[in-house]
Chains A and B, each alone.
Chain A
Amino acid sequence: MTRPPPDPVFVLRGSDGAVNCLKFRCHEADSLRLLFSGTASGKIHPWNLQTKRSACVLDGHEGQGILSLGFCDNTVLYSQGRDGTVALWDLKEGRKDISDRIPVSAVGFCQVELFNQSSSRLLAAAGVGPAEIIVTDLQCKKPAFSLQPTEGSPPQGMVMALKAGCVSDREGLHLWAAYEDGSVAMWDVKQRRIVSHLKVHAEPILCMDYDQEQGKGVTGSADNKLAVWNGKDGQLVAKQTVERSNPGLSCVKIRDDHKIVVTGGWDHVIRLYGWKKLKPLAVLDYHTDSVQCVDFSDHENSEERLLAAGSKDQRISLWSIYN
């Protein structure tokens, strides 16, 4: 029996530039359910998911594109802009002011990663030097330390994506970094050294996500492969690759329940795979330009869960699938 793939449940139009990043905030049942989107023109739209409208526009990066969005805590949104700063937005009680700015020196496209170590909150971002990662303390807004591989040894090239997490309870915090030479490195943050290093792709890696529970990570790159690797036991091991006929994967995301992984690419379509074996599940073809970002909502009730995808064609599509 076959069934056609579903259509989007809604399409949010009205951005004045390519949609670069998306972030849901839906887990609180009582407050407003919002989807934040950042565009290449430097604006952040909080979309109300009930009315499907964006009530206001947050503009704080001087017209430079937004690279990433995230939450420091429930009410503090951070946005990384191409103007070289990470802005912290205070959204308490309907306010929308920039409470703080943290300079981030990198010029590339690497999204910042926020994580906790012991009591301090740290922000990892690509550094200026080759293959350098700079970790900044959020409290004092000063660079805490930097992670750089020894001269001449792999990995090389710019840092393209970052992800933090714990391998297991015994070991400390780890940081996974994807590089321009197509390799992934696992950093031990405490000891500041590379635990393991694996060449996954032939082309620069564009996106990465990591599943802490199963110790598996997934990367997409400028070539036509989606690669899954195992990060358990302190050793990166290539596990599986899926090849597609068109190159370029700009975003990849694993759903919170570790069942589905979704990718968006330069071929305009959103693809869903089963996370365990990368079984192809669906191809969602709506956009007319490359898909730049995908995100799953964090609804408490999984029935209401949404998938959002933002594209270069300035539209954001919302899908309800496999709930």
Chain B
Amino acid sequence: MSGDTKLQVRQLVWEVQNTLSTSKNPSEVSQGLLRLSVLLPHDKTSKNQDFPDSELPEARKEFSLHHYVSFLEFLISKLSVDWLGRLGEERGRELLDRFFLDGVHQDAFIVLTSAVQNTSPSYKQDKCVSLLEQFLTQNKMTSMFWEQCNTIATGHMIQTNQSDSRRQPRVHNALWEELVTILATLPDRMANKLQQRNRPAFSPEQYFQSLALSMWETLEKVYSAIKASQDCSMAFLQLLLGKLCLQGHAGLVLGVLLPKLTRQTRQDFVWQRVSCLLLTGVQDRCVESLVVQLLTQVSCAQTGVMVSTQVCRTGVWRAWWCTWSHRCHGEYTGVQDRCVESLVVHLVTQVSWYGTLSRLLGDGVLRSQKLKYILTHKCLLIRHYEQDRVVQNIMGYLADSPTRRHLLIETLVKVLEVWSDSSAIKHTSYDQHAYLSKAILAGLSHLNSKEKQEHKQDFIRRLLEGVQHHIDSPVIKIRRLGMIVAESVTKMVDPDGQKLKFEYEEDEETSRLLSLLMPPSDPGDELEGDMETEEVLMSKTSLPQKEGTTRTSGQEGKVTSSQSKEGSDSELDSDDDLEPYDMPEDTKMSKVKSPVYIRDCLDGLIANEDADRVEACLSVCEQLVRRQPDNLEEVCVELVKILLHLQNSFAIPEFTRLRRSAMVATTVFCPLQVSQYLTSEFYAPNYTIIQRLDMLEVLVGAAQELSQPMEQKKATRPEPLVQLLPTPDDQSREPQHWREVVQKRIEKKTRRFAKGASKPDPTPVPNKFHTVAGHFFFPLLKNYDSRQNTLDMLGEDTLVLGRLVYSLGAILYAAANTMVARQMSKTLLEFVWVLRFHTEPYVRQSLLFAVSMVILSVPAHVLTSDLQEEIFEGQQWLQDVLEKDTDAECQKLAVQTLMLLQNTLQQELGGGNTQQ
């Protein structure tokens, strides 16, 4: 009988094809189509003439298996304006569309896309595109996915007890691979093919969102099927999701799926299993029934939830088999692993709370080596992310279940080890390092007291080692990181023991770091809010509604603004009728008189016990010096010495600034003496590092101030004022400066013809730094390689060395355009050459800075003549840094310096050419 049916179907198809290709009568054509449409799998309306009811299912199956694809291809080949004209009426066209939309979905989909792909712009292509569009908009995707879920399930049902269980999936595999590839690349394909004529439905955003929605609807169906104890498979969805993630569309797809999954998995056990399966087992079709049955029993006993065996088989345990199937299907492993990575990365960045992640992933990390590697190694140690929630999610996920806790400890120790490593500190970027610190803090927050006790020694040992390395670092932020982590670790791990306490500046970043010490709580209600916005996003098409909402919000805005206006009205009538008197400056009251003479000030600064006096003296010291008393030269060195040794023992506000500006002022007015003193003291023993840095800072500050073309007015000796004899009509009797008077007379007799504001030329002022520049510079280079107990610049005091090089560069820049600059640059370049392979990035940065300062401060022709050799070598070194240096900041500086150098040289050489 089945043979008969087959023959019958074949005959019918052949007849209809014949009719369609030859007949010119519309009714005949539509009649033929109608006859065949009976065989469509979802057809219910048409009357059945050719087959008895009993044979119909078999005939339909035969048709969809063997004739459907070729018939569709035949139809497409026939599509043309002419031929469609024969169908004539609307009904005929609908009938035609039905063959595409109500047939076997996956076949129709593939045929349509390949048709679009293979045709050139024509009516045929247009028709295919609109059919495809209808396919998408009429939600055929969902039923297509659902079919996939069902077919494989029935396949499994039949085969569970047979040994050749892999045959059927393999047949599907080729089809699925093709389908999934088309699904994941459809927007690209359409955009490529259609160019300008592309439809909005195929724009990536809309397409993937609708795809995700279809996936979601399918998942809902799967869920209800599982609840009804029916078998179904999610292998296709896994495959599709993996492919989508791999293609980089995970953001769009998960953006739709994740909030929904989060909401559903909160309460529902079955949903948790569904999502766990969807996300962890990406391809899985080898289920050994025996073991599954066994494990299923365990699962049911444990959870006590009435879930059928099928639920569990499609649930968590399949994920366990994922690893096993890796081995079975060696050829998929690569694909699968890549999918896992892009999927997991998106998950950890998008999930807002670790509990959700835990529900979504289950215990996957214990089963999949790959997942474990990605979560505990790659995401923590190799990559780094902006969002704090990544580390919170990973650490929280590891800590969330007792079975995973050993991984938390393991990971924490590993991260701490990398964090403590001195070479890692030196060679990784700051962001990466801060990320590690965040991971440590987030991990600490999940430790319980027992674990703390057990691993206390281990943590503390590693920590102390690392803190030492951090505090040695010349980068302030790294030092601060070390302090924060050290404080937190000692506080968390050993609350009763000794604690470390550091002083550091608190800002947004520190508070952000410290906030990680509290494990985040479940943002339950917020999520609901997210959902709503999500839904609004989904219903983008309902434009009128949207307009309505915006209008109302606008009205509200107006109302509030008018209210606020009313509120402020009462404030408007103010104290204007009361006219204020003169007000003296609101000066700080001090108990002691501030000194007027520089020697008094000196005495005051030495008076250690009297806080008020020291404060008063320090605050006026700069003003006193700037008044340039006659005896300043006598006391300048002594003053600087006192200031240099002054400690902030009374917590005077702005101590650092006052002290520094007083020293700079002294150096500005007595540059020779003070610079000699400071440069010789710089290499003297018995100074702290901070004092040495202060010396450098003062020298640089004074050099900059000296080189600036500012007229230094002598406040103490004002020039005589002129009092004009009062003229009868002149009201003003203000004394005037004689220069102004003269200038006014000149102005009166000057006629100007040009319009516009006449800008006076800046008055030239001699560079005061010129004569003393050498004294600031050369002594500092004298014995940088000498080694003392308190200063070992080529050894561990890299901070001082770096600052020294910076300062030399800055002093050189201040001395730009002076005669001595040429000599200074040569010396500086030689100095840089010696240190160019220093291991500390901070020093290398300062060297690069110094080189750029040389380029900026020396005339370009000198670079090409006197310094040619050094510059050439320097250029090669810069190239080298650019290509090989590990520090990003160094590379950036090298690029800038190189650009600067090339610009300067180009200008110089180009300018020379034009002159010739």
Contacts and interface: CB of A to CB of B under 8 A. Distances in A.
Nearest to A277: B574
B580 interface: yes
Contacts of A283: 581, 583-584
Contacts, number: 51
B580 A276 contact: no
Contact of A276 (B573, B582, B586, B589): B573
Nearest to A268: B589
A49 interface: no
Contacts of A322: 578
Interface string B567-595: 00001011100101111101111000000
B578 A279 contact: yes
Contact of A281 (B573, B578, B589): B578
B571 A245 contact: no
A275 interface: yes
A282 B581 CA distance: 5
A92 interface: no
A95 to B, nearest CB: 42
Interface size of A as a range: 20 to 34
Interface string A283-323: 10100000000000000000000000000000000000010
A274 B578 contact: yes
Contacts of A142: none
A265 to B, nearest CB: 10
A218 B455 CA distance: 57
Nearest to B573: A276
Interface in B788-831: none
Nearest to A266: B589
Contacts of A6: 581
A246 B589 contact: yes
Given A245-B588, A246-B589, A267-B589, A282 B583 contact: yes
B574, B581, B588 — which one has the most chain A CB atoms within 10 A of its CB? Answer: B581
Contacts of B589: 245-246, 267-268
Nearest to A274: B575
Interface string B656-693: 00000000000000000000000000000000000000
Nearest to A281: B580
Given A246-B589, A267-B589, A259 B575 contact: yes
Contact of A244 (B573, B574, B581, B586): B586
Contacts of B571: 276-277
A276 B586 CA distance: 22
B584 A276 contact: no
A86 to B, nearest CB: 35
A282 B578 CA distance: 10
A260 interface: yes
Interface in A1-24: 2-6
B582 A4 contact: yes
Contacts of B588: 245-246
A129 interface: no
Contact of B575 (A4, A268, A277): A277
A245 B580 CA distance: 19
A245 B578 contact: no
A268 B586 CA distance: 12
Contacts of A268: 589
Nearest to A275: B575
Contacts of A279: 574-575, 578, 580
A103 interface: no
A307 B665 CA distance: 47
A280 interface: yes
The 8 closest A-B pairs by CB, nearest first: A274-B575, A282-B581, A5-B581, A279-B575, A281-B580, A246-B589, A277-B574, A245-B588
Given A276-B575, A279-B575, A282-B580, 19 more contacts: A2-B582, A3-B582, A4-B582, A6-B581, A245-B587, A245-B589, A246-B586, A246-B588, A246-B589, A259-B575, A259-B578, A274-B574, A274-B578, A275-B575, A276-B574, A277-B575, A279-B574, A280-B580, A283-B584
12 contacts: A246-B589, A259-B575, A275-B575, A276-B574, A277-B575, A279-B575, A279-B578, A281-B575, A281-B578, A282-B583, A283-B581, A322-B578
